[in-house]
A and B are shown apart, each in its own frame.
Chain A
Amino acid sequence: MSTNTIALPELPTTRPLTLRLHEWVTTVDHKRLGILYILYALIFLALGGIEATIMRLQLIRPHNGFVSPEVFNRMFTMHGTTMIFFVAMPMVFGFANYLVPLMIGARDMAFPRLNAFSFWMSALGGLFLYFSFFGGNGLYGAGSAPDVGWFAYAPLTAKTFSVGHSTDFWTLSLLSSGIGSIGTAINIIATILCMRCPGMTFGKMPLLVWLNLVMAGLVILAVSPLSAAQIMLVVDRYLGGHFFDTQAGGSAVIWMHFFWIFGHPEVYVLVLPAFAFASEIIPVFSRKAIFGYPVMVLATVAIGFIGMSVWAHHMFTIGMSAGANTFFVLSTMAIAVPTGIKIFNWLATMWGGKIRYATPMLFCVAFLFQFLVAGLTGVTLAVAPLDWQLGNSYYVVAHFHYVIVGGILFCIFAAFYYWFPKVSGKMYEEAMGKLHFWLFFIGFHLTFDFMHIPGMLGMPRRIYTYEPGRGWDIWNLIVTIGVVFQAAGILVFAANLVWSYLRGRTAGNDPWDAWTLEWSTGSPPPEYNYAVIPTVRSRRPLWDLKHPEDPDWRYE
């Protein structure tokens, strides 16, 4: 160093907090918006978890008096709405925002400002929903948050039955976040269609990108009717409309169709990104290329199409004709075929590999097991006569939590651990990751395995209390005990994220010896991702670099 330089006053190494906050609020960077989506989802995960815990404490024994029926009804409405619209959706969009441009070798999303707008619309939706605690009145005046259930069947949402404004806050919340979802979906599609780096044909896109493309298509098709229905509900409640007002000749059934033409594709909106994580993580930790890439793509597209034709299996008990019932039995069962193909292809990817059981892979293997069970209980519910017994019982609650927690959330945890080094530049604590896995695995199975049984013994969902002597008591007790383990797992997870971010060791660009483009840039990636736009020749560009003697493009 030269001794002639003028001594400058020491510059602060960090900028003031207000300036940094301002940068986050005004950002249009896909990585920052991705992180915002994910942090936002984590806050709501905590809220939704608290609501679930309150319900489980109330149901720990028959005729319990922990909360009133009014509070319980608000809790299940808020829990469902929160977890679907303000945890699962933003989580999925957050990862898509962060990863899709990186994996296709792009510098940002196609429409960065639309991206920011969409995030803030979704965030507004969450604020609307929780503002209802202060601004709404429920079915009984003294109440607050919405209490009409997350699928809000007509005519319970009519002014006659839901006075006050709690239902209106629910409607505004879904309308606002729906606009955000549609904006993000358009953005993802445009990004994937227009911004792939040279050489990345459709046949060479990582599976994660394919799955998010189909997911975004489904969001546009599914969220639009939901938004339309919300507008119709507002018209009913304030402008004298009678779409769903049965007392004036409206139809309760038409709301069900509107809701489930959204509601079932929504399951695939959430599960396809989960499949996307598994399709990236299982190959890397098995040290093998994904088995049957073209079949995996075809199965994804098939799920997208068939997924749009199964919605009325949520309505087997509403008195549809035998012809309609058999149609929806067939379409629903048909979806088991492409889904099964996916499970078999992941298995075949592991087969003959050298599997490394780091935390992301543990979550993915548990996902395969749990998604298998969830799929099989799903087939039992697709058999309409079984649904006449099991529909709207705790068996259904157990089934869809098996899908959403056992399938989707386990994959989301896998994704957290897998990409945490890329996003933060720090390595997470492996021992804490494994502790999180085992606590959550045990808690999940205590809660949701045993929850199937009271359903088969006749326990309907959405009851704030139940009668003794029906053989439900012991199962409900076990289900509630499982919550303790799940909550402990979540706390370990949160501690791991915070501790590793502050104190973790530096991860390096490519800690997993992985193969997709995001691992070729810095950790965290610099602004605009790539100094030079990469060119790819195969689905695993980094494999080609690491194995010049045996590159993938010879075989694809």
Chain B
Amino acid sequence: MSPTNIFAPASTPAQSIFGLSIFVLWTMVAIFVVVFSLLVYAAVRFRSKHPYEASEPAQIYGSTQVELAWTVIPVLIVVALFLAATRVILAVQNAPRPPGALEVIVTGHQYWWEYRYPQLNITTANELHVPVSDPAHPRPTFLTLLSADTDHSFWVPRLGGKTDLIPNHPNQMWIDPQQTGLFLGQCAQYCGTQHAKMLLRVYVQSPEEFERWVHEQQHSAQNTSSAGERVFESTACINCHTVSGTPAKGKFGPDLTHLMSRETIAAGAAPNTPETLRLWIKNPDAIKPGSKMPAMGLSDRDLDAVTAYLDTLR
């Protein structure tokens, strides 16, 4: 089964859309069956024998009653669909925010996602962690959607519909995942060369696991004074990346303070292993051609040292 199937909802917004979609799709199937049967009947029943008959059929120019019938019935169907749609629009867009809701500020960057948790003082990238929302004790997550550059769109089909991230135009959406696990998605608005590999991973965790994750993320990095850290802090790495508690305070790329707590790198384009990490630093185009990460041009020794240093950021 597809992990991004819109018909396998796991959160209230996706669930209400799913319910509505079943109603709409069955209505469409019913209309299709009726009209298609009429079309097939007319096309077969009224075909001319070959060679064509010379005499013309009776000429009929129209009928007001029939026209009225096939105007009024569609109008009634449209009204029903409109009311059903409006109900879901209001339920999703105007949902009240409970006091215990988790807040996350999502910023789209060319080809990666930045997540900030203002209540928890956490900054991370590409892998969003949220607590499960038990219907008995709902704990939804409200996302504020911003963009640092071009348009993007946040779409995790099993958790909810997509909402665009547009510069100068803050948006909101919310999810309340009701089962734990990993939910996948990806950017759904063309944002440039590597739009295809701007993948989304949402980890829905039990309250205890989520608290543990929060606790880990709130720690600053230890100063290691290793060779790798010296290379990292003396090259252009720190222009773009932050490792909290060290001189690295760049904001252009993902925060690396807890890099090793993430399962993937390059916005989900590759698994987070020492080999891929080393390749990514050496030649990002090998993994994600067109990404904004430049090839650093380090010697093999420095590459090994930086990779070893990054491996300590847990």
Question: Which residues on A are within 8 Å of B, measured CB to CB?
Answer: 68-70, 73, 139-140, 147, 149, 153-156, 161, 246-247, 249-253, 286-289, 291-295, 317-319, 321-322, 325-326, 329-330, 333-334, 336-337, 340-341, 343-345, 347-348, 350-357, 365, 368-369, 372-373, 376-377, 379-380, 382-393, 456-467, 469-472, 547, 550, 552, 555-556
| A286 partner residues in chain B, CB cutoff 8 A | 46, 57
Tell me, rounded to whole Å, the shortest Cβ–Cβ distance linking A347 to chain B.
6
A389 interface neighbour in B21, B90, B187, Cβ under 8 Å: B21
Given A295-B67, A356-B52, A383-B24, A336 and B191 contact (CB-CB distance below 8 Å): no
**Interface code B47-65, partner A: CB below 8 Å = 1, 0 otherwise?**
1100011001111111100
Q: How many chain B residues touch A (Cβ–Cβ < 8 Å)?
A: 89
Least Cβ–Cβ distance between B38 and chain A, in angstroms: 6
CB distance from A295 to the nearest CB of B (A): 5
* Bound-state Cα–Cα, A156 to B169, Å: 15
Assess whether B169 is in contact with A252, with CB atoms less than 8 Å apart. yes
Shortest CB–CB separation between residue A482 and chain B, in angstroms?
Answer: 21
Please tell me if the beta carbons of A384 and B89 are within 8 angstroms of each other in the complex.
yes
User: In whole angstroms, what is the CA distance A249 to B1 when docked?
Assistant: 44
> Which one of A294, A319, A392 contacts B166 once the chains associate, using CB atoms below 8 Å?
A319
In Å, the complex CA distance between A336 and B93 comes to 26
A392 touches B188 (CB 8 A): yes
Instruction: Check B150 against A318 for contact (C-beta < 8 Å).
Output: no
Partner of B53, one of A251, A354, A388: A354
Given A156-B192, A322-B94: A556 in contact with B61 (beta carbons within 8 A): yes
11 CB-based A-B contacts, threshold 8 Å: A139-B193, A155-B151, A287-B57, A345-B67, A354-B47, A372-B32, A383-B84, A385-B85, A386-B17, A471-B4, A552-B59
**Chain A interface: which of B100-108, B154-162, B203-211, B240-248?**
B154-162
A322 nearest CB neighbor, chain B only: B93
Question: In the complex, what residue of chain A is closest to B82 when comparing beta carbons?
Answer: A330
Instruction: Name the interface residues of B155-177: CB closer than 8 Å to any CB of A.
Output: 155, 157, 160-164, 166-169, 171-172
Q: Is the CB of B38 within 8 A of A460?
A: no
Asked if B59 and A340 sit within 8 Å, CB to CB, the answer is no
Given contacts A252-B151, A293-B61, A385-B16, contact A140 B290 (CB under 8 A): yes
With A253-B169, A380-B21 as given contacts, are A388 and B160 in contact (CB-CB < 8 Å)? yes
Output the least CB separation between B209 and chain A (Å). Answer: 24
Are B5 and A456 in contact, CB atoms less than 8 angstroms apart? yes
B51 closest partner in A (C-beta): A356
Which residues does chain A contribute within 8 Å of B81, judged by CB atoms? Answer: 333, 379, 383
Inter-subunit contact A460/B187 (CB<8 Å) = yes
| A521 CB, min distance to chain B CBs, angstroms | 23
Q: Is the CB of B6 within 8 A of A287?
A: no
B contact patch SS: mixed
Q: How far is the CB of A296 from chain B (nearest CB, A)?
A: 9
A368 and B92 contact, CB distance less than 8 A: no
B88 to chain A: closest CB distance in Å?
4
With A319-B145, A337-B78 known, 12 other A-B pairs at CB within 8 A are A69-B193, A155-B151, A156-B151, A291-B63, A343-B35, A353-B57, A376-B32, A384-B85, A389-B21, A390-B6, A393-B188, A460-B153
Q: Are B85 and A329 in contact (CB under 8 A)?
A: yes
Closest 7 CB pairs of A and B: A388-B161, A458-B4, A471-B2, A463-B196, A319-B171, A246-B167, A292-B62
Partner of B78, one of A294, A336, A387: A336
Q: CB within 8 A of A458: which of B60, B67, B155?
A: B155
Contact partners of B35 in chain A: CB under 8 A:
343, 347, 372
C-alpha spacing A547/B155, complex, angstroms: 63
Instruction: From B21, B186, B188, name the one whose CB has the most chain A CB atoms within 10 angstroms.
Output: B188
* Residue pair A350, B46 in contact (C-beta under 8 Å): yes
Q: Using Cβ atoms and an 8 Å threshold, which residues of chain B touch A369? A: 36, 39
| Residue B149, interface by CB 8 Å | yes
Taking the complex as formed, is B7 at the interface, i.e. its CB lies under 8 A from any CB of chain A?
A: yes
B25 close to chain A: CB less than 8 A? yes
Judging by beta carbons under 8 Å apart, are B70 and A156 in contact?
no
Q: Of the candidates A140, A149, A457, A550, which one forms a contact with B6 in the assembled complex, judged by CB atoms under 8 Å apart?
A: A457
For B136, the chain A residues whose CB sits under 8 A away are: none
- Give chain B nearest CB distance to A391 CB in angstroms: 7
Verify if B31 is at the interface (C-beta below 8 Å from A). Answer: yes
Give per-residue flags for B2-26: 1 if the beta carbon is below 8 A from chain A beta carbons, else 0.
Answer: 1111110000001011001100110
Give the contacting residue for A351; candidates B46, B61, B150; CB below 8 A: B46
A155-B167 in contact given A353-B46, A372-B36, A386-B21 (Cβ < 8 Å): yes
Contacts of B56 in A (CB 8 A): 287, 354, 547
Interface string of B287-301 (1 = CB under 8 A from A): 001100000000000
Say whether B78 contacts A333, CB under 8 Å.
yes
- Which residues on A sit within 8 Å (CB–CB) of B262? none
- Decide if B46 touches A352 in the complex (CB within 8 Å): yes
